[in-house]
Amino acid sequence: MKISRFGICQICGYRRRLLVDHSHVSGLVRGLICYHCNPRLVNIERGAHAHFRYLFRPLDAFRNSWFPMHRIFFEPRGARPPLVLSLDDIEIVAIPCFLFHKYLETGGPLAPLNLQYREHLEIDV
């Protein structure tokens, strides 16, 4: 579920479009996180995750847009060149795993509100 506006992700701290994060076991809302951090939580809950999440952004971009690191950005696409030609053209950050574990251990900042997740749930940010 998407929130209609941008905000600060409660895990990575970057300004992005936010999602309502909830526990699939209890149905309780945990917080508002970005679409890059949301799938990472699923992997951590399943026990299959890496210790860092790497994000990158082009240095010549006029927006503050971060993208997850995937090899498809660095491979040629048919007759077209790769989207990223050189590591000198991008900035890379590593978001450590402990931020995600800390978020899950505390239950998330919205957990004390005991909001039950439902379709099209809207939360003011």
Domain boundaries, the chain: 2-113
Specify the pLDDT at position 2: 44
Exposure string for 96-119, b = 16+ CB within 10 A, e = fewer: eeebbeebbeeebebbeeebebee
> What does the alpha-carbon distance between residue 88 and residue 41 come to, in Å, rounded to a whole number?
30
Which regions of the chain are under pLDDT 50?
1-2
| Contact by Cβ (8 Å): 4, 29 | no
pTM to 2 decimal places: 0.56
What is the spatial distance between Cα 114 and Cα 7, in angstroms, rounded to a whole number? 21
pLDDT score recorded for residue 1 = 45
The pLDDT score that the predictor gives to residue 51 is 65
Question: HSE of 64 in the Cβ direction (CA atoms, 13 Å)?
Answer: 8
Nearest-angstrom CA–CA distance, 57 and 89: 9
Q: Give the pLDDT score at 38.
A: 82
pLDDT at 32: 87
Q: What is the pLDDT of residue 64?
A: 65
